[in-house]
Each structure stands twice: as structure tokens, then as C-alpha cells.
Amino acid sequence: MRVFVTGATGHIGSAVVPELLAAGHEVVGLARSDRSAATLATAGAGVQRGTLDDLDSLREGAAAADGVVHLAYMHDISLTDRDGYAVAGAADLRAIETMGEVLAAAGKSLVIASGTLGLARLLPHGQLATEADAFDRTSTQPRVASENAVMELAERGVRASVVRLPPTVHSSLDQHGFIPAVIGIARAKGISAFVADGANRWPAVHTLDAARVFRLALEAAPAGSRLHGVADEGVPFREIAEAIGRHLGVPTASIPGEEADAHFGFLGAFVSTDNPTSSTFTQEVVGWRPTHAALMADLDEGHYFSQAAA
């Protein structure tokens, strides 16, 4: 299969591209810079120059492919700019709709990345999220609107699916995710904090296991599938904070909820979220089994705390 991958040199994409190539697929990655283009060429992939806002390039890449794995997202804007969440979500939706029009005309495949965190707002506190949990189809919320667009494409003949990823996709490839951010805050403030009793849970998955979910979804997921790339259903945030404190040699302590934003900055809204998530359906429907290190074991490997990571 010829596969067009957006976000091909990002954290997840840098694992998805070799996963696809090793399975015998031809890969063309979207590259917005000479550096990204060179990285793709070195990996053995083709290059489609363009950006997430370059709709003509997205259309061209999708038209020349048998399937698309859409991983690109304006994460930097969504987390740091006041209006960035809406801006990034709108760009994501435009990209999906643009590529979807091409794919629908030819009945091709599409897999997009989404997240599990939104399910914490959808479900009663503490309830285990499953792949059957769906958002309101009329919602215009970022990420939710993108999921809904994929479901509509599935109804139009695209073998389209969504892979929801947890907030903690971890490995030595993870340089800018939630775990490096929490470690950076603990290092800067001299304390590894959690909110209240820290019993809230974060699901997690190793980057290489996540990459395999995207390949299996592309190859075999039924149209309209919602899949969860989740290995650890829920790690208490206090345990994460304690591991970070132990490796940094700083104390671990509770802070009240009203101080979360001041302490954690942009992460303040997430550190107390309880997001237990199952992947039972995903494992059954595409035959996925996580095989790489769980989050706590990966933290204990030490790569997040090396001088290079700092």
C-alpha cells in the first residue's frame, strides 16, 4: 500500500514511518522543512513538501496514496496561545475534510490521531472509557469535530478510523510531551507535585506500541472504528510524581487544586484529570498487543532524566 503520512517526522510519526516500511508499505511523508525532508529520505520514505495549512499539498498527497495516516497537529499553538486550541482544531478539521474529499471519491483508507483526555469530560468521574464512548455528532469542539468528520467519511465509503492516544505516549522518542513537561516543571521548581491525593489516573502507551496501532488500523480496522492505543489503563498521577521526584532527587508533595495552574502552567488543567481508559475492543478487532515497557518501567530506565533530556 502507498501511504501518505502527515506529521511523519514528529514524535509518533517518527515511529509510524519505519513501522509501515518494515511491513512492506511504500511511505510518503509530509515535510515542511529541508531537515524533515532529509530525515524522511534517510528513513527510506518519499517526500511531499507542504504544511498542514497547504491544502493543495494535502490534496495531492492523498490523491497519490492508497491510504492516509494523519498525525500532524499544531500542538505548539494549541498549548501556548490563548486562542490556539480553537485555531489548531480548525486547521486539523480543514485538513481532514480536504484529504477526505479525495479519499471518498476513490474509497481509500484514512486513520487519524485523537486523544483520550476528552473522554474524561464526557463520562462520569472515574468511569473507565471504552472505544464505544462517542461524542455528540453535532459538536464543534476541536478534536471532537475531527472525530465526527472521520465518522462521516466512513459513511461515504472511506475506510476511516480514529486512534485515540493517551496523554502519556512515552519512550526515548518523547521530547516534548506531557511527561517531559512535568519533569521540567519539577526540575525547575525543586518539587515533584501532584494535586490533592494524586489518585487520578493517566493512561499510557509506549511510542512503538502506538505506532503499531496505526499500522493495524490502516490495514484492517473496519470503517467507522474508534480505537484506543492504550497499554496502561490508568497510572495514578501520584506514582508518576513520586518516580519523577526519586529520579531528580527532589521531594514529592501534594498541592491543592486551586494552585495547580500556578504550579503547572498550561498543564494545570490536565494534571488532576482522571482518565482511566480501556483498549479491549482495539486488541480484539485489530489483534494489537502492547509489548514494550509500561510507563513506570520506562521512567525507571532513566532516559527522561539524562543530561541530554534536561
Q: What are the C-alpha distances in Å from 229 to residues 166, 204, 206, 280?
A: 7, 8, 9, 10
User: In terms of domains, do 83 and 212 share one?
Assistant: yes
pLDDT at residue 86 in the model: 85
Domain end position, chosen among 216, 232, 248: 232
Query: What is the per-residue pLDDT across 103-130, written as a single tens digit (0 to 9) for each?
Result: 998 999 999 999 999 999 999 999 999 9
Query: What is the per-residue pLDDT across 291-306, written as a single tens digit (0 to 9) for each?
Result: 999 999 999 999 999 8
pLDDT at residue 309 in the model: 55
Query: What is the per-residue pLDDT across 13-48, written as a single tens digit (0 to 9) for each?
Result: 999 999 999 999 999 999 999 999 999 999 999 999
Query: What is the per-residue pLDDT across 158-199, written as a single tens digit (0 to 9) for each?
Result: 999 999 999 999 999 999 999 999 999 999 999 999 999 999
User: In terms of domains, do 245 and 211 share one?
Assistant: no
User: In terms of domains, do 200 and 219 share one?
Assistant: no
* Strand, helix or coil for residue 12: coil
pLDDT at residue 140 in the model: 84
User: In terms of domains, do 222 and 300 share one?
Assistant: no
With residues binned 3-state (H G I as helix, E B as strand, rest as coil), the percentages for the chain, rounded to 5, are 45, 20, 35
Domains identified in the chain, total number: 2
User: In terms of domains, do 93 and 109 share one?
Assistant: yes
Q: What type of residue sits at position 52?
A: L
User: In terms of domains, do 64 and 123 share one?
Assistant: yes
Domain assignment present for residue 35? The answer is yes
Cβ pair 297, 225 in contact under 8 A: no
Residue 194 β-bridge partners = 254
Instruction: Give the rounded percent of residues in the chain with a pLDDT score beyond 70.
Output: 97
Domain assignment present for residue 52? The answer is yes
- What domain range includes position 68? 2-168+206-232
Residue 183 β-bridge partners = none
pLDDT at residue 233 in the model: 98
User: In terms of domains, do 114 and 197 share one?
Assistant: no
User: In terms of domains, do 60 and 192 share one?
Assistant: no
Domain assignment present for residue 282? The answer is no
- CA 86 to mean position of chain CA atoms: 17
